[in-house]
Structures are given as structure tokens and as C-alpha cells.
Amino acid sequence: MTEKFGKQFREKYFTSIDPEVYPVNHGSWGQAPDPVIQKFKQASGEQYHYTDKFFHDIRDKYTDALKQLSEVVNCDYHNLALVDNATTGVNTILRSYPFKKGDKIVMQSNVYGSCYNVVKFLNYRYGVEYVEIEVNYPISDDEILQKFEKVFKEEKPTMCLFDTISSMPGVIFPFKQLVNLCKKYDVVSLIDGAHGIGCIPQDLSEIAPDFYVSNLHKWFFVPTACALMYVDAKQHHKIHTMPISHSYVQDDVKLSEEQELNRLIDRFSFIGAKNYASVSVISDAIKFRNEVCGGEETIYKYCNSLAKQVGEVISKQWGTSYLDQENLISAMVNVEVPCESLGIDVAAIKANWTRFDQTVYTPSIDVHKSFIPCVVHNGKLYARFSCHVYNELSDYQHAADVLVKVMKDSLELEPLFKKLTI
Ligand SMILES: Cc1ncc(COP(=O)(O)O)c(C=O)c1O
């Protein structure tokens, strides 16, 4: 039987969260429940009982974790690898892929900053070109897809990089349709699914991209740092570990059938000495999700309906709007901050973000213990609320009040933010 989610669930299973904190920002760093953290601590020291045996056996432990994850995302475990985080996964793919000078990568304008920088690096170092597609919300999935299709036709890119759920604002991107569009135009698809597994349902056999990376330490309750990387079988030989290590084989080396099948596991299970505690507790995270939370569907339903409720209630509380197209909301929702009624100039915030950080974020984190990430997008300031099973509506009502209070206070500290009235 599933237990009641919300604050009482937090008090029972998430006691590592400071009880004075209003944890409404799961999306940035993730969070893990007590039973998983306990196992993680144990696992961190496990290698020291008998280091030789630990590292001798690591491939089996690693493969076991892949097998369990392959059931969650419905794909052949031979197409999976574990890396430290989404940034590493995206780097691994982009910096391995055999681009030639003049090849083009297409991406959305709100692609995650660290991934954008990898593309800029490829541009600077190897002359790989990139095309950025402007995506400003509110915009429909169809409009987004039309924009990409136009660029696919005109620019004939090699690869397209896009999100499952974008970071800021935190909205679902039409990634399934975009994979299909990539197939139609023979473009390699790379999905940044940093917010993927554990947040929205993921069926990799159905989506069938070329490449996909998803953090396990964000929404899936695996402690940091751990992410899953999916590589379609036809792309295995092009992808190399980062760093390149003992297991390196050139793209064109002919392997036996069995070696070919295990190409990713043989490469990625060991790339140098590191702590494998996150890998060791993947099964514990799955167990907690299934046995205590009631399974993926139950978790998703709770988080998604709470996010919708938060959008509804907080936008009313603030007298503003939220990004509410049905297909945008996952376990995160973006509500417009009432800058107009507070007399705050959104453009000034955008131009002086460091001051916003100092005058709004710092007191939110240090004094009020209630942090909501914000973004200036399409002329509005949005607050991104994240919802997980340990949250309930009152968390957001409180956090929303705190944000308004610190924003009012910021007007005293930073006159630049005051909207000029004529
Ligand atoms: C869309 C997106 N991509 C990539 C990342 C990077 O994740 P990590 O810091 O785990 O590498 C994030 C982090 O929030 C993200 O939101």
C-alpha cells in the first residue's frame, strides 16, 4: 500500500532535509530518501574492505545496475552506460562524435548552458557550425516542430540537440516528435534528458533516439553523481569514454560479435579509479520508488497533479499567469512573478542578474531557507517550482510569500530594479 505523500512523508523518509527548509527546488540538484542515503554511505566505504576484490568485481556490479535500469526505461541494457552527470554524458557524445569541419548542430535557444558551451567549443576547435532556434514561451509544440523542420530542410544539419524538459523555464519539450522529425531528415538526435528518468515516463524503445542522457541523481533518488547514457547500437563504435582510458578501441577496429554487443559495457564500466557508491545504490533507489512510493506511475501522477495545482494556486495568489499548456507541465511549473504590481522592472533584473542573485537569492537561501530559481523569459520573470513526493501545497504557498517579500526588500537594496513611472 502506498503511503500518504507530502510533508509527513518528508518527515518519515527525507529526514536529511533540514526541517526548517522549504524544499521547492528539487529540479536543480535532486534529493534522496533516507534508506538510499544510508546504503550510499555504507557503499562509499565498501571498497576499503577488500579493494582488489571490489575493483575486480566492479564490472558485474555495474552491469547489474544497467540491467535494472533497462527495465525502467525499456531498452536493451547493452545500449546503456553510466556516467557522472548529464553534462558529462552530453560532453561524451559531442566530443566523441566524428564531426567534420562545416557539419552543423541545431539546438534550441534555451538549451542548457553547459551543453551550449560544448557546442561552442566544437565550433572554436573544429569549425563545427551551429544553428540556434529561438524558442519563446508560450509557444505550441507544432510551432516548435515547424521551426526545426524549416531549419532541417534549409541547413541539412548533422545533429540536433534538444531537451526532454528544459531547465529554465522548466517545460516539457516535444522530444518524441522531434526524434521522429530527425529520422525523417536523417539528422542524428541527441536528447538532453537531464530532467528525464523519474520525472516523466521514459520508454526508450518507443522514443528510439540516437543518443539520450538522463540524470539519475535529479528525479530518480540516486545520490549524486550518476547519470544514464543511451546510445543506439549503430552509434556504439563512435562513442568513447571521457576520459579516454585503458579500454579505448578505435572506431574502425573490428570486434567479435560478443565484443561488439558488450562494446559499451567493456568501455564504460571502468575508466579510472573512482567512487562507485552511486552505482551500488541504484537498486535501492528503484526499490524505494516501487515498494515505498508505489511505483513510477504513482509518483508521476502525484508530482504532476501537484505541479498543476501549484501553477493554479500560486498564480492566483500572485495575480499573475503561469505556463499552463497541458503538455508543458511535468513535475515542474513556471509561475509569473508579480513584478508589475511590485513596481519591479524585469528588464533591469535581466541586465543586472548578479544583483538579483545578491539581493533576492542570497536572503532566500540564507535567511528564509526557501529558494525558488527564477528566469527572465520572453519579457517576464518566471519562478520555477519543483514538485516531488515529499512536497505539499503549503510548501509553495510559503515559498511564494518569501519570494515576494525578498523582492520587495530588494527594491530598497537595488534602486535599479524600480520601475520608472511617467
Ligand atoms: C536541461 C539540463 N541539462 C543539463 C543539466 C546538467 O545536469 P548536471 O549538472 O547533472 O550535469 C541540467 C541541470 O539542471 C539541466 O537542467
pLDDT, averaged across the chain:
96
pLDDT in tens, 318-351: 999 999 987 999 999 999 999 999 999 999 999 9
Quick check: 243 pLDDT over 50?
Answer: yes
Q: How many helices (H) and strands (E) does the chain have?
A: 20, 10
pLDDT computed for residue 419 by the predictor: 85
Domains and CATH numbers, the chain: 7-29+295-417 (3.90.1150.10), 37-289 (3.40.640.10)
Quick check: 276 pLDDT over 70?
Answer: yes
Relative to beta strand 332-336, strand 211-215 is: unpaired
Q: Which of 25, 110, 195 to mutate to test the pocket of ligand 1 (most atoms within 8 A of CB)?
A: 195
Model confidence at 416, in pLDDT bands (50, 70, 90)? confident
Ligand 1 site, CB within 6 A: 28, 85-87, 112, 114-115, 163, 166-167, 192, 194-195, 215
The mean pLDDT value for 51-77 works out to 97
Determine the Cα–Cα distance for residues 24 and 67; give it in Å rounded to an integer.
32
Determine the Cα–Cα distance for residues 248 and 311; give it in Å rounded to an integer.
48
pLDDT in tens, 126-137: 999 999 999 999
Taking the centre of ligand 1 as the mean of its atom positions, its distance from the CA of residue 90, in whole angstroms, is 10
Determine the Cα–Cα distance for residues 318 and 339; give it in Å rounded to an integer.
10
Quick check: 30 pLDDT over 80?
Answer: yes
Atom number in ligand 1 closest to CA 217: 10
pLDDT in tens, 36-52: 999 999 999 999 999 99
CB 147, CB 132: distance < 8 Å: no
Grid-cell match 569514454, residue found: 241
Quick check: 422 pLDDT over 70?
Answer: no
pLDDT computed for residue 420 by the predictor: 77
